[in-house]
Amino acid sequence: MLSGIQHFVFCPRQWALIHIEQVWSDNRLTVEGRLLHQQADDPFYRQKNGDCVSLRSVSIASKELGLYGFSDVVELRPSDYATDCIRHPSYPGYWKPFPVEYKRGHSKPDERDEVQLVAQVICLEEMHGIKIDHAYLFYWEVRRREEIAINENLRRLTKQYADEMHRIFKTGVVPKAEKSRKCYHCSLFDICLPDTKVKLLAKNYLKKNLYEETP
């Protein structure tokens, strides 16, 4: 799923635990994020503000990335020209689409938010045969929208992450834990067990826990 790419950038092990092992655990951050997205995830709700139309929970997919999912919001802005525009059955004319991804907190020190946004852009471009040069991240905690230029470096990075996700998914092998400061913000901390420092062999585990020692 496209939404998993942000987990992968944050931590490949976290992504694999969720999308390969199918485990999940909530904490305050994940609950707040889910509540925020409930406001943007109604596909039947459309908002018109002046000339701008906001579509919610838009289904998107890309063969190039091998990803599918939803865009929180796609803003449609009117254009006098057909170039890099789409048509909409409910709104006549030509419209330029711009994805808007909603985030609970604030901008991150890595590219996880930008990569997720670029993946949405690539999906829309592929689906409609257009080019999108910028999109937006909205951070709820600071009530700020950031315009993100969709440059070649971000596109290349997004494709690299998508390819690596597919490679790991095909192997079915969850990457090893690598403890860092970001672990303490992860809802899967207790499941991941990054504090485990000693690798126990199966025979030693059985000897210690199941078998009685005899003189």
Question: What pLDDT shows up at residue 179?
Answer: 84
**Does residue 120 fall inside a structural domain?**
yes
Tens of pLDDT, residues 135-152 = 999 998 898 999 999 999
pLDDT level of residue 50 (50, 70, 90 thresholds):
confident
> What domain count does the chain have?
1
Boundaries of domain holding 32: 4-209
State both tokens at 120: 């949405």
pLDDT tens track for 157-202 = 999 999 999 999 999 999 988 888 888 878 887 778 756 544 545 5
* CATH number of the CATH domain containing 194: 3.90.320
At residue 141, the pLDDT reads 86
Q: Which of 69, 109, 77, 113 is nearest to 93 (CA)?
A: 77
Query: In Å, what is the CA distance from 112 to each residue of 29, 59, 106, 154?
Result: 16, 20, 12, 11
